[in-house]
Amino acid sequence: MDRREVLGWAAGGLAAALAPAAARAAGHVPVPFDWDMAPPLDGREAFVAWMRENRGEDPGFLGQRWDRYLQLLAHHDLWDERDKRAYLLTPREEFVTSANLSRAYEWHYLDIGYGVTITGPHTVARMTNTIAVARGDKVLEIGTGSGYQSAYLSHLTDRIWSIEIIRALAERTRRLYDSLIGRGYRELTTITTKNADGYYGWEENAPFDKIIVTCGIDHVPPPLLQQLKPDGIMVIPVGPPGAQHVLKVVKQQAADGSFRVARSDIYNGSIVNFVPFTKLEDGGIRGTHNQ
């Protein structure tokens, strides 16, 4: 799909349904983001009131965000205090499509057009908490998608790179980020994006402390492992289509300088399906990187 086709498609009613919800939003963030801001965790009413005052967000969505937060805790998808804050500060409703706005905080993935999805909040939370992002960590995301994952990460570190293979989606999400930045979500200025094949990583900005892959593949891509720092952590869905396991991959360096890779399943054997890790070939998306 070239740029003229994208613009033509965007003029139709289908595009209105699949456009990010933020395109219809108004208002600005009243209090600029800083690393010390933290919403209260002692109850729904206090959280909604604080977020209304400091972030200017819709109380209906804030209530849904809080309710899902309690479910994340109950299912042990969130456990670190910084990650709790990151989840609560990220307005998921801005990253779903208009057609799915009322379902923004549902458990499961949602369609965002182009044959791909926004990952469900439980999976995003568990994968993100697993890589234990510290402020200042360099984080690479493979599969920008809706933009929600990188926005979530922007509350954990100020150095984020994200790659999206679908050009029209990469452009749409970049416009969304820029729109949100204009409304006061200044934390999103820390996200650098590009349209490319994520299998090969982002070598000129490597090495990375953490890598998060949001599409499924049957092996760990060697270029990504090479671009991971010693003692760095990657989280990636690995397995054949329909039977993927989300792995935590730790690149460990021994005293003699050699490396070994430790793998563990963050869902203890449960299968979690992801969109396929597609590849660019001859200027277009052709198949997947499965071996």
Is the confidence at residue 86, as pLDDT, over 50? yes
Reply yes or no on whether the pLDDT at 83 is more than 60.
yes
**290 burial type by CB count under 10 A (0-12 exposed, 13-18 middle, 19+ buried):** middle
Summarize pLDDT for 178-189 with one digit per residue, the tens: 999 999 999 999
Question: pTM, whole model, 2 decimals?
Answer: 0.91
Local confidence band at 22 (pLDDT 50, 70, 90 cut-offs):
low
238 pLDDT more than 90: yes
Least confident of 4-8, 62-66, 120-124, 232-236: 4-8
Q: What is the mean pLDDT of residues 116-142?
A: 98
Question: b vs e for 189-227, b when ≥16 Cβ sit within 10 Å of the residue's Cβ?
Answer: ebbebebbbbbbbbeeebbbbbbbbbbbbbebbeebbeb
Average pLDDT of the chain is: 92
Percent over 90 (pLDDT), the chain = 86
Helix (H) or strand (E) holding 44: helix 44-55
Cβ-proximal residues to 18 (8 Å cutoff; 6+ apart), any chain: 97, 98, 99, 111, 112, 113
What are the tens digits of pLDDT across the range 56-79? 999 999 999 999 999 999 999 999
The DSSP H or E segment spanning 173 is helix 167-182
Taking residues 137-141, report their average pLDDT: 98
Domains in the chain, CATH or no CATH each:
3-288 (3.40.50.150)
Q: What is the pLDDT of residue 291?
A: 85
d(CA 276, CA 291): 12
Res 252 pLDDT > 50: yes
How far is the C-alpha of 169 from the C-alpha of 34, rounded, in Å? 29
